[in-house]
Amino acid sequence: MAEERVMLVDGMALLFRGYFANSYGGYIRKTKAGLPTNAVFGFVKYLLDACKTFNPTHIVCCWDLGSKTFRTDKFDGYKANRPAAPTDLIPQFDLVKEVVTGFNIPNISFPGYEADDCIGTLSRQLSEHMEVLVLTGDHDMLQLVDERVKVIIMKKGASNYAVYDAEKLLEEKQLTAKQFIDLKGLIGDTSDNYPGVKGIGEKTATKLLVEYVSIEGILDNLEQLPKGVKAKIEAEIDMLHLCRELATISCDAPVSCLPDDCFWQPDHAKIFTMFEELEFNSLVKDVSRFIAVS
């Protein structure tokens, strides 16, 4: 019997990637009735490819719910730079969850928390039972890596993944998963709109963490730092601590999922009917090939 492994899917990462990958030239895939489906089409292709590549026995899909979270309560500017979702994408937010349900995969989210927090929480819960694979395009998730949790970063191109365990993370980034949180505290995150310490880039931050291990270690050794680096950190200590809080994925969100609730057992007939309704004719062949070998 194959070893059990659960794939925790960052739903929004796949959906947005699917939208932009299938809207080039301004063309938006739609049903004959005019319902936009390009993002959902891309989502399904990415999901099936990941299933074929990593062969999970269990799957969960996690989602964001709106823009207000416990992080916006701490920092008004958090993600305030995000543009509004494209008009053609909006009706696909509910549609993609219907499709996930049609695959017999649970959708999990909770008000005030991001998909990252749901994934972090479930990774801790489910790693007690099986190996955990986190499927995302978001490098913030690297902080979740541990002995039982691997993070799969989707890269450009079909079937192109970077799989991080603790060894790979240390080899490529020179940091542990916990240090990755401190890195984001130091350098901030432009996509999430929090600044970190002004003037401290990734190269300098990584060097500091390799030498002093943590933000606390850096602060305990301020007198040893170059004068310019010391001045920058001293001027932004409060922001440094706040940014580390914003960067930290919560692993105690009020969500749960038992292994029996997320066993991957697709209903073939249900999927074919769903694809016919969505006019995903080319994917019928893809899913047929996949199911034949799964």
Whole-structure pTM value: 0.95
- pLDDT above 60: residue 294: no
The structural domains of the chain, with segments of one domain joined by +, span 5-172+255-285, 175-247
pLDDT score recorded for residue 293: 47
Residue 275: predicted pLDDT: 94
SS3 content of the chain, % helix, strand, coil (to 5): 50, 15, 35
The superfamily (CATH) of domain 5-172+255-285 is 5'-nuclease (3.40.50.1010)
How many CA atoms, within 13 angstroms, populate the side-chain half-sphere of residue 146? 11
Q: Which of 275, 292, 274 is closest to 283 using CA atoms?
A: 275
Residue with tokens 């309704």: 277
Of 290 and 214, more confident:
214
- Lowest-confidence pick of 87-91, 236-240, 252-256, 279-283: 279-283
- The pLDDT tens digits for 6-42 are 999 999 999 999 999 998 878 899 999 999 999 999 9
CATH for 175-247 is 1.10.150.20
- Which of 176-180, 193-197, 259-263, 267-271 is the least confident region? 267-271
Closest CA to 213 of 187, 175, 184: 175
Share of the chain above pLDDT 70, in %: 97
- DSSP label of 83: P
pLDDT in tens, 125-176: 999 999 999 999 999 999 999 999 999 999 988 789 999 999 999 999 999 9
pLDDT-based confidence at residue 262 (cuts at 50, 70, 90): very high
Structure confidence at residue 268 as a pLDDT band (50, 70, 90): confident
Evaluate if residue 230 carries a pLDDT over 80. Answer: yes
Sheet holding 5-10, edge to edge: 107-108, 58-62, 5-10, 131-136, 149-154, 161-164
Amino acid identity of 185?
G
Dump pLDDT digits (tens) for 99-115.
Answer: 999 999 999 999 999 99
Across the range 173-188, mean pLDDT stands at: 96
How far apart, in whole angstroms, are the C-alpha atoms of residue 269 and residue 267? 6
